[in-house]
A and B are shown apart, each in its own frame.
Chain A
């Protein structure tokens, strides 16, 4: 099934004022080369890519900039606040990211992927600072896509303070462990979408391979955001293709309504008319 055919079955992903036909959002970090990143973004079919805000290197002999390798007229950039460990730094970083995107005239200037981390070992989000930063960024007019743990209570709080989308982690960033607690994701979905079915929930982080993505989508999340699983695969471009298919496969499966699990078998061929068979009870 081609991308166009798949999309005929599905509505686009709506995140605040942004509409994306692909439900896969990919990161731009950790690639061996910028060329490989470029090809992988293309293969992923994604229309939205995350970027980080960092100090300009003042003595770069090559002078190469990420922005020379991303067509910012084609992709909506989603600047993150990665590396921030408190609300104050996250808000500063978000403002700087917005300023750059305004200069690029990229539609991503009005949103941010909020990420406020607790420590460098787990890279788990600090829930208190995350809620605080989310509230402040919403007041500053940002559409906040909020990275968080899979805790349903914090997820609810983030929605209450105005997050445009809540993005629970499947497992720690870059860990490749997949969706460690699907029941928490299910409760997040119930809490956030129960009376507001269009509210977007995206699994962000922890994905290791295509089946993790398909599984997340089958749970009923609206999209998946990933980076390392593609960038550090042995063949990133091939993995990017697989992630695109997995996103579509999982989404279609969710919409199709899977069969219930049964303990015993249920024959697919007719029971009647079988020749010369002794029936065993």
Chain B
């Protein structure tokens, strides 16, 4: 199925969870937060939250700022 991560289209296996996608991206799950279709999904739901075709993800982290 196709999802969008940070406005970039990605193909992921049907039934993937947020945790699966994070793992594929080789991101440290401790350093990120995820929104699906503009809704914040708490960290403890990442392993159980199944994505569906067309989902839009925002994956953010902390960077230097003032």
- Taken together as a complex, chains A and B put the C-alpha atoms of A29 and B63 apart, in Å, by 8
Are B64 and A51 touching (Cβ within 8 A)? yes
Q: How far is the CB of B51 from chain A (nearest CB, A)?
A: 16
Are B59 and A56 touching (Cβ within 8 A)? yes
Whether a CB of chain B sits under 8 angstroms from the CB of A50 is: yes
Complex: chain A residue closest to B29, CB-CB: A103
Are B31 and A227 touching (Cβ within 8 A)? no
Candidates A54, A67, A99, A227; contact of B66 at CB < 8 Å: A227
- Taken together as a complex, chains A and B put the C-alpha atoms of A97 and B40 apart, in Å, by 11
- Taken together as a complex, chains A and B put the C-alpha atoms of A67 and B58 apart, in Å, by 19
Whether a CB of chain A sits under 8 angstroms from the CB of B37 is: no
Whether a CB of chain B sits under 8 angstroms from the CB of A58 is: yes
Are B31 and A31 touching (Cβ within 8 A)? no
Are A55 and B66 touching (Cβ within 8 A)? no
Candidates A37, A58, A227; contact of B6 at CB < 8 Å: A58
Are B66 and A66 touching (Cβ within 8 A)? no
Restricting to B1-29, which residues have a CB under 8 Å from any CB of A? 5-6, 8, 25-29
| Interface size in chain A (residues, C-beta < 8 A) | 38
Whether a CB of chain A sits under 8 angstroms from the CB of B47 is: no
- Taken together as a complex, chains A and B put the C-alpha atoms of A204 and B66 apart, in Å, by 9
Candidates B8, B61, B65; contact of A65 at CB < 8 Å: B61
Candidates A29, A56, A77, A226; contact of B61 at CB < 8 Å: A56
Are A58 and B42 touching (Cβ within 8 A)? no
- Taken together as a complex, chains A and B put the C-alpha atoms of A105 and B29 apart, in Å, by 13
Candidates B29, B30, B42, B59; contact of A55 at CB < 8 Å: B59
Are B61 and A54 touching (Cβ within 8 A)? yes
Are B66 and A80 touching (Cβ within 8 A)? yes
* Contact A100 to B60, CB < 8 A, known contacts A58-B8, A67-B31: yes
Are B66 and A92 touching (Cβ within 8 A)? no
Find chain A residues with CB under 8 A from B42 CB: 99
- B: which residues have CB within 8 A of A? 5-6, 8, 25-33, 35, 38, 40, 42-43, 58-66
